[in-house]
Structure 1
Amino acid sequence: MDLGLDGRTALVTGGGGRIGGEDCRILAAEGAEVVALDVNLGAAENVVEEIEADGGTAHAVECDLTDRADVEDTIAALEAETGGIDVLVNNAGMVDARDRIEEFDDEIWDRDISVNLTGAYNVTRAVYPNMKERGWGRIINMSSMAGWQGGFGQASYAATKAALIGFGKTLALEGAQHGVTSNIIAPSIVVGQLADLPIDQLETVDEHFARIAKATPMRRLGTEADVANLVAYLASEQADYITGQVVGVTGGIDLFSF
């Protein structure tokens, strides 16, 4: 299937990370010109080098999503260079907070709101007007199963990921008559090559991961490619009539099972 991404420009925030990097690689493989945007320029450059080695087109851009002026200046420069951002993947986020609410660090809460939620707002607000003016755009917010169902010890992460669902649905309503779709992806745990291990072997590596795999009907954890393939489809011409949807990439762990 031709996803129709040739000639499109896709911006992935957190493009130097595991999931964001795979988003960049798969979007580039489908023909998009990719911008890997990250506060860690070196990580983004590594992803771009891989894409270019495979014959794709990509750019590494350093930007602090929590700095609204930096975001606005960065997007203005990118739009001048590329003609406009066609696809925005709000992927950047912090996921390291682990404390019960009575012990939660206020600074970590503020940091996660700033990066996970306000960062997505800042870049979307900068990108959206040009999408609307040109009558075509794809916005994809990376939420999480924690945004659907909560996460023990993850107050800030779960709250921001839930907020991204509401944010994405609102964008879908506002963009619907202007050719701009907005959808939300909610992955379960994503562990890269560890997903290939049988559960008995996974137990020797990480008991927590093994417990989640046992609870997953497909009996394995997710990979970055599981998420990125869906990103590419939702970014495509083929997904023209899909908007405002929350799509789980979960192996069925969100299903009730005996």
Structure 2
Amino acid sequence: MDFGLDDRTALVTGGGGRIGSEDCRVLAAEGAEVVALDVNLDAAEAVVDDVESAGGTAHAVACDLTDREDVRDTVAALEEETGGIDILVNNAAMVDARSQVKDYDDEVWDRDVAINLTGAYNVTREVFPHMLDREWGRVVNMSSMAGWQGGFGQVSYAATKAALIGFGKTLALEGARKGVTSNVIAPNIVVDEFADMSIEELEAFDSYFARIAKATPMRSLGREADVANLVAYLCSEQAGYVTGQVVGVTGGIDLFSF
């Protein structure tokens, strides 16, 4: 199926990370001109090398999403250089804390709010008005199962990912009459090398991941491509009537089972 992205420009935040880099590769394979935006320029440039090796078009851009002036200047330059950002994937996030609220580090909370939530707001605030003006746009916000159901020991991550659901739905309302859609993806853990492991192998590697795999009806973890393929669809012409939705990529972990 042709997703109709040949003349579209896609900006992927956290484009140098695991899921963000796969988003870049899949969107580029569908014909989009991709901007891998990351605070780590080396990581973004490595993704661009992958995309270009496969025949796609991509650019690496360094930007600190917590710095509003940096975001404003970066988006303005990209709008001029590319002719307009049609697709925004708010993917950048930190997820490295495992601690209960009573022991939580205030600095980790502040950092995660600044990057995961305010960072998404900062870049969307600059991109979204141009989409409305052009009367076409796609926004995809990357939430998580932790944002849907909470995450033990992940209060800052879960809270910010839950907030992105409300953020994405609000954008859907504001863009609905202007041809701009906004949807939210809530993945389970998606890491290629973990998806290939049996539960016994996961147990030996990390009991946390093993418990999640056991709780997943498919009895395995997912892959980055499981998310990126959905991103490409939600950004397509065919998904023009899909907006304000939260779509799980979960292997069924959100289902009641016994």
Cα distance in 2 for residues equivalent to 1:209 and 1:98: 13
Which residue pairs with 2:196 in the alignment? Answer: 196
1:112 matched to 2:112:
yes
Q: Please identify, of 188-197 and 123-132, the stretch whose mean Cα deviation from structure 2 is larger.
A: 188-197
CA distance, structure 2, for counterparts of residue 153 and residue 197 of structure 1: 24
1:59-70 aligned at under 5 Å gives the runs 59-70=59-70
Separation (CA, whole Å) in 2 of partners of 1:60 and 1:217: 38
Displacement of 1:117 in angstroms is 0.4
Matched AA of 2:148: W
Aligned to 1:237: 237
- Partners of 2:149 and 2:77 lie apart in 1 by 39
For this pair of structures, how many residues does the alignment match? 258
Name the residue aligned to 2:168.
Answer: 168
| Residue matched to 2:126 | 126
Name the structure 2 match of 1:92. 92
Structure 2 counterparts to residues 18-29 of structure 1, below 5 A = 18-29=18-29
Structure 1 CA distance, aligned partners of 2:9 and 2:88?
A: 9
Matched position secondary structure for 1:239: coil
Amino acid at match of 1:232: A
Which residue of the partner structure matches residue 13 of structure 1? 13
Matches of 2:70 and 2:201 in 1, distance apart?
Answer: 45
2:39: which partner in 1? 39
1:206 equivalent in structure 2: 206
Aligned-residue offset at 1:206: 2.3
Please tell me the residue identity of whatever aligns with 2:235.
A
Residue 86 of structure 2 aligns with an amino acid whose one-letter code is D
Secondary structure in structure 2 of the residue aligned to 1:141: strand
Is the counterpart of residue 257 in structure 1 residue 257 in structure 2?
yes
CA offsets 1:163-213 (integer angstroms, 9 cap, x no match): 000000000000000000000000011122220222233323222222211
Residues 3-12 or 196-205, more deviating: 196-205
Is 1:248 equivalent to 2:248 in the alignment? yes
Q: Secondary structure at the match of 2:65?
A: coil
Secondary structure at the counterpart of residue 237 of structure 1: coil
Q: Which runs of 5+ in 1 are unaligned?
A: none
Distance in 2, Cα, partners of 1:112 & 1:61: 21
C-alpha distance in structure 2 between counterparts of 1:128 and 1:166, whole Å: 16
Compute the displacement of 1:129 (Å): 1.0
Identity %: 78
Provide the C-alpha distance between the structure 1 equivalents of 2:106 and 2:217, rounded to a whole number of angstroms: 37
Q: CA deviation at 1:253?
A: 0.3
User: Partners of 2:196 and 2:81 in 1: how far apart?
Assistant: 41
Q: Name 2:146's counterpart in structure 1.
A: 146
In the alignment, the residues of structure 2 paired with residue 202 and residue 98 of structure 1 have an alpha-carbon distance, to the nearest angstrom, of 18
Q: Distance in 1 between matches of 2:198 and 2:225?
A: 19
Runs of 4+ in structure 1 off by over 6 angstroms are none
Q: TM-score, normalised by structure 1?
A: 0.98
Whole-angstrom distance in 2 between the partners of 1:72 and 1:139: 18
Q: Let me know the Cα RMSD of the aligned residues.
A: 0.8
User: For 1:116, what is the secondary structure of its paired residue?
Assistant: helix
Structure-1 separation of matches of 2:8 and 2:222: 28
1:52 is aligned to 2:52:
yes
Counterpart CA distance in 1 for 2:216 and 2:145 is: 13
Q: Name the SS of the counterpart of 2:88 in structure 1.
A: strand
Q: Which AA in structure 1 matches 2:106?
A: D
State the alpha-carbon separation in 1 of the partners of residues 192 and 209 from structure 2: 12
Alpha-carbon offset, residue 69 of structure 1: 0.6
Give the C-alpha shift of residue 98 in structure 1.
Answer: 1.6
Amino acid corresponding to residue 218 of structure 2 in structure 1: M
Question: Partners of 1:159 and 1:52 in 2: how far apart?
Answer: 37
Aligned twin of 1:2: 2
In structure 2, what residue type is equivalent to 1:15? G
